[in-house]
Amino acid sequence: MKKRTLGKNNLEVSAIGLGCMSMSFGYGPAGDKQEMINVIRSAVEQGVTFFDTAEVYGPFTNEELVGEALAPFREQVVIATKFGFDCDSGKQGGVTSQPERIKRVVEASLKRLKVQTIDLLYQHRVDPNVPIEDVAGTVKELVLQGKVKHFGLSEAGAQTIRQAHSVLPVAALQSEYSLWSREPEAEVLPTLEELGIGFVPFSPLGKGFLTGAINENTRFSNEDFRNNVPRFSEENRKANQALVDVIGKFAAQKKVTPAQVALAWLLAQKPWIVPIPGTTKLHRLQENCGAASVQLSAEDLRELEGAASKIAVQGARYPEHLQKLVGR
């Protein structure tokens, strides 16, 4: 698989990464541990070198899974993890980026991931009670101590990105971005381009919706957080099907899958964009990796853009209490 570079400090990763959250958390019951290890190791065999986790996924169990799965390949891969949610009680609480807690979380993450250094450490969400300069300064200390190599932010706004970057170069911003979630285009992408920061879109397949495998009649398990996402209400899924139909029609013309079109569209936006689709299934992993070979011409992109722009996506992408944490 081709490689891409995130940020100016030459963090080189595969053009498509693997988001590991859903293996432990978020979309229903955790997957079978050995099966999930097989998926992660299969990704390595297919050329994926970029793996994404966080302390809050589980909490804690996803980092342990990723650490065990990637232990034999440590020198070949880049592991990204995150701090920033209070999960000390074993459940996800509010945002917290107190410097002492960041240091404590990093020590625990190093052990769970079975590594000496965290390749890329993100602040999971901006904490309005801790100046971003203090957060960046704390991570800078950890970099100087050799515990962290690169610093990242997640779902931060343009001003916060600038402030953090002035203290410690930000290698990557991770935010939701896809054909049905395009908020970063207004301010964030131009800021990243100006500062030389890479972009890592999560949910590049719209939390599964853009694959065409979900419709208004789909029923999610009780543990699936999409049950609480406005964009996934039955009514909004019915309305948003129009976008999936556009992608599906385009994919059929290109003789590829809708997921591959959605990922190839992201890759075509900028050479420093690296999407991290998540999956628990080997056939979906193979499909997603195949998107790195799908070439969309300027005409293809215009056609897709023209059709997609006529469709107004219905529903917020988070429930209100989580939507407030975005773009700070």
- Taking alpha carbons only, the member of 11, 15, 10, 12 closest to residue 288 is 15
**Strand, helix or coil for residue 323:** helix
Note whether 276 and 204 are within 8 A (CB). Answer: yes
Give dist(CA 27, CA 31) in Å, integer. 10
Contact assessment for residue 200 and residue 19, using Cβ atoms and an 8 Å cutoff: no
Contact 35, 277 (CB under 8 A): no
Catalytic residue selected from 27, 57, 122, 177: 57
3-state SS record for 251-291: HHHHCCCHHHHHHHHHHHHCCCECCCCECCCHHHHHHHHHH
Distances (CA, A) of 306 to 130, 148, 163, 262: 42, 42, 36, 15
Is residue 122 annotated as a catalytic residue, yes or no?
no
In terms of Cα–Cα distance, which of 41, 40, 50 is closest to 15? 50
**Catalytic sites, residue numbers:** 57
